[in-house]
Structure 1
């Protein structure tokens, strides 16, 4: 499994919230409690996206464009930058900015997960809320700026059409289908975003290198293995010195430094999401000695594994 696939598999969406809005201008929606990652696209018409807590210019989405919004700050989606704020959504509660009430019938359910007026000339928008948590989620979100726009393309458009079709259905297993359809949109959008080498992380660019891409795959497939630089070099058919230099140049850090960072990411998520002891987590990520794992973890996270677990999951008993 390649690095991006591994990362997405471990940090995949669960209980995705997908909604379709069909409405004529002027309209404006502010989301006050945004999830870690939001996917917004227009299927017809256009929309404007702006971050209310970040000093960035609003961006315009044409039909088929995708906006990836990271971070928990407020963001607003509207028909135009000049449209004044109308509605603030907190969780699943809608609040009108001017205290007014929406006209009866102006926004109604048009089908499963679909709301609006349904009149000709309306913008059709999809919004998917991604609940990605933990260090694995942070590593994935670190690939992106607060607001990334991916222009419409044949592959992403086909995936969006699938997501829109499934969002309008209500059959057994639909939540699981929507989770995976949103995953597909995200993967294709990330591919398109990272196609520009000036903005892709080093490890992503290194995936296209036969030797270094293979080495990264090996590290992700078996992070608990007792890897050495010489052993990795031998597996990819390079000398130790040439491999270490090329890995560092392409990825941005030496092989074992990258491995340690990945092990700490996995360890942090295991501490957060399971009741495994620190010793068991240490063994899973390649440390026979829990003390050595604790030292590496504290160097990486600033606190011991037990202290980190208490902070991340209040109320969980200390499991050495």
Structure 2
């Protein structure tokens, strides 16, 4: 499994929520305490997205653009930045805050998971929310800005069209279909964003290097293996010195430092399960000696595994 797939697989919570809004201007929706990662796209018309708890300027989404919103306490989606919030959505509850205007009809159901007025000239917007969990989820979210916008393009259009079609259907297995389609759209959007972003994660850029990309895959597929730099170099067909230097230059950390950091991320999530002993967690991430694991974990996280467990429960 490649690095991005591994991150998404381990961080991903099930039952992602997909909703479609078909609404004529003026409309403005504020979302408070939303999930850590939201995917917003416009299928027709345009929309404005603003992160209300940062200094990020509003961005305009044209048809086919995709916005990735990470870790906001509150954000607003509207037809225009000047339209004041009319409805606040907190979880599954909705509250009208501006009764002086015609508030968006977020209650009227037009089809499964589809709400609005459905009239000609309306903006058609899709919103998918992920409840990423644990330290692996934090690791993924930390690689993105609060608001990343991927312009419309042929690489994402087919997935958008399919997700929009499936969002309005209600057949057996529909939630599973939507989960996987939203996953697909997220991966395509991440690829597109990191391909054009100067701040793409170093490991993502390193995936294009055959030797280092293969080494990263090996470390993620077998994190508990007792890897040495010499063995990794042999597996990817380079000398030890050349491999170590190139890995460090491309990824930003030496091979075993990267491995330790990834092991501690996995361990931090495993420790959230109160039924799993520290010794079992240690073995799961490649440490036969629980004491050695505890020392490594405290060096990486600043607290012992037992203290970490108490803090996360």
- Per the normalisation by structure 2, the TM-score is 0.96
- For the pair 1:179 / 2:179, whether they are aligned, the reply is yes
The answer as to whether partners of 2:87 and 2:103 remain within 8 angstroms in 1 is: no
CA shift, 1:67, in A, is 0.2
- Spell out, residue by residue over 1:279-310, the C-alpha distance to the aligned partner (whole angstroms, 9 max, x if none): 01100100000111111111111111111111
The answer as to whether partners of 2:13 and 2:133 remain within 8 angstroms in 1 is: no
- For the pair 1:297 / 2:297, whether they are aligned, the reply is yes
Secondary structure in 1 matching 2:203: helix
- TM superposition outliers: structure 1 runs of 4+ over 6 Å: 100-106
Pick closer, same or farther for the CA change 1:287–1:121 going to 2, 3 Å: same
Pick closer, same or farther for the CA change 1:274–1:68 going to 2, 3 Å: farther
CA distance in 1, matches of 2:106, 2:63: 23
Unaligned stretches of 5+ residues in structure 1: 314-320
Secondary structure in 1 matching 2:39: strand
For the aligned residue pairs, the C-alpha RMSD in angstroms reads 1.6
CA shift, 1:72, in A, is 3.4
CA distance in 2, matches of 1:261, 1:275: 24
142-151 or 167-176: which moved more? 167-176
Secondary structure in 2 matching 1:241: helix
- For the pair 1:306 / 2:277, whether they are aligned, the reply is no
Residue 136 of structure 1 corresponds to which residue in structure 2?
Answer: 136
Residue 152 of structure 2 corresponds to which residue in structure 1?
Answer: 152
CA shift, 1:107, in A, is 5.0
CA distance in 1, matches of 2:194, 2:104: 45
The answer as to whether partners of 1:12 and 1:183 remain within 8 angstroms in 2 is: no
Secondary structure in 1 matching 2:256: helix
Pick closer, same or farther for the CA change 1:169–1:205 going to 2, 3 Å: same
Residue 316 of structure 1 corresponds to which residue in structure 2?
Answer: none
The answer as to whether partners of 1:197 and 1:205 remain within 8 angstroms in 2 is: no
CA distance in 2, matches of 1:307, 1:202: 31
CA distance in 2, matches of 1:265, 1:278: 14
CA distance in 1, matches of 2:213, 2:20: 38
CA distance in 2, matches of 1:105, 1:191: 34
The answer as to whether partners of 1:13 and 1:130 remain within 8 angstroms in 2 is: yes
CA shift, 1:224, in A, is 0.4
Secondary structure in 1 matching 2:196: coil
CA shift, 1:126, in A, is 0.3
CA distance in 2, matches of 1:275, 1:176: 29
CA distance in 2, matches of 1:146, 1:205: 21
Unaligned stretches of 5+ residues in structure 2: none
Residue 10 of structure 2 corresponds to which residue in structure 1?
Answer: 10
Pick closer, same or farther for the CA change 1:23–1:40 going to 2, 3 Å: same
CA distance in 2, matches of 1:272, 1:178: 28
- Per the normalisation by structure 1, the TM-score is 0.94
CA distance in 2, matches of 1:225, 1:106: 52
Residue 42 of structure 1 corresponds to which residue in structure 2?
Answer: 42
Secondary structure in 1 matching 2:248: helix
Secondary structure in 1 matching 2:149: strand
Residue 80 of structure 1 corresponds to which residue in structure 2?
Answer: 80
CA shift, 1:5, in A, is 1.2
2-11 or 259-268: which moved more? 2-11
- For the pair 1:94 / 2:94, whether they are aligned, the reply is yes
CA shift, 1:12, in A, is 2.3
- For the pair 1:266 / 2:266, whether they are aligned, the reply is yes
- For the pair 1:229 / 2:253, whether they are aligned, the reply is no
